[in-house]
């Protein structure tokens, strides 16, 4: 018997799939990945970042702060950072029925159960696709 291979999906194919609404999924290197449900500690850390970033943005008006927003980073990567910031007028250019293209300007990923190698890979992906922080 020969080895089996799994066909990789494009971001476009991924967005066309009828995935269950009660679960969140990402596309990583063309493969669908179900996101784990976050525990309260994870959500509390995320909430603290959101409070600080939103407070800063209310005073400085530098862009928009988002929580759990999907970004189409490459043809095979559509991911959902915990917290993200898009600077300037960039959010105005995003189709409200679609997803932002490329990484947000600032990304916050709360580390809870990710392995170091997986987190490094994710950070590298964000930086390669336009994130500044």
- Per-residue pLDDT, 5: 55
Dump pLDDT digits (tens) for 38-92: 899 999 999 999 999 999 999 999 999 999 999 999 999 999 999 999 999 999 9
Does any domain span residue 43?
A: yes
Rounded Cα distance between 106 and 77, Å, is 17
Dump pLDDT digits (tens) for 81-123: 999 999 999 999 999 999 999 999 999 999 876 677 888 899 9
Report the domain count for the chain.
1
CB within 8 A of 37, min separation 6: which ones? none
- Domain region containing 120: 11-128
Rounded Cα distance between 38 and 81, Å, is 13
Q: CATH number of the domain that 46 lies in?
A: 3.90.1570.10
Percent helix, strand and coil across the chain, each rounded to 5?
A: 35, 20, 45
């Amino acid at each position: 018997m020969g080895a089996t291979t799994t066909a990789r999906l494009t971001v476009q194919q991924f967005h066309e799939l009828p995935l269950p609404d009660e679960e969140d999924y990402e596309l990583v290197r063309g493969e669908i990945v179900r996101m784990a449900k976050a525990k309260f500690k994870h959500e509390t850390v995320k909430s603290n970042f959101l409070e600080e970033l939103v407070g800063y943005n209310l005073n400085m008006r530098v862009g928009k702060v988002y929580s759990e927003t999907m970004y189409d980073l490459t043809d095979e990567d559509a991911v959902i950072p915990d917290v993200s910031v898009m600077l300037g007028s960039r959010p105005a250019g995003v189709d409200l029925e679609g997803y932002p293209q490329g990484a947000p300007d600032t990304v916050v990923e709360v580390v809870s159960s990710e392995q170091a190698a997986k987190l490094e890979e994710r950070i590298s992906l964000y930086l390669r696709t336009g994130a500044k922080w």
